[in-house]
Amino acid sequence: MGKERLEQANHEKEVLWTLAAMTENNAEEAEKLWMEFAEERAQPDAECTEDEVEQEATWGQEVMSSVLDTTAKNIKICARSKRWWNADINERTRMVGRVRRRRQN
C-alpha cells in the first residue's frame, strides 16, 4: 500500500504524490477520509508504551498513503527523474537551442 516500488529496466521507481495539484475539493475529500479512518482508531494517551507509539506511527503512515492514493495525483520518481527541473531551466534550454540553430544557419 502507498509507495509502490516497481522494477523497470533495472531502474527502481517510486510512486509518490504531488500535493500542488490538489484542488480544494480534493483536500476536503482527503480530510473527510482521514477523519473516517481516525474515528475507528483509539487515541493514544500519555501513559502509552513505546510500542504503542510505534504502532500509531505506522498506522498513520499507512492511512496517509491510502488517503493520498485516493485523493492526490500520483507521480513516479526513478533514477532518471529530474525533480529539480523547472520552468526557468526549460526556458533557458529553449533559448540555447534557438541560439545554436541561428549559429548553424
Cross-strand pairs, 8: 11
**pLDDT score at 12:** 55
Give the start-to-end residue ranges of the domains of the chain. 5-104
What is the residue-level pLDDT of the chain in tens, covering all 105 positions?
444 444 444 445 566 887 877 888 888 888 898 888 888 787 777 788 888 889 888 988 998 888 888 888 887 777 667 767 788 888 999 999 999 999 998
**pLDDT score at 9:** 41
Q: Please give the DSSP secondary-structure letter assigned to residue 3.
A: S
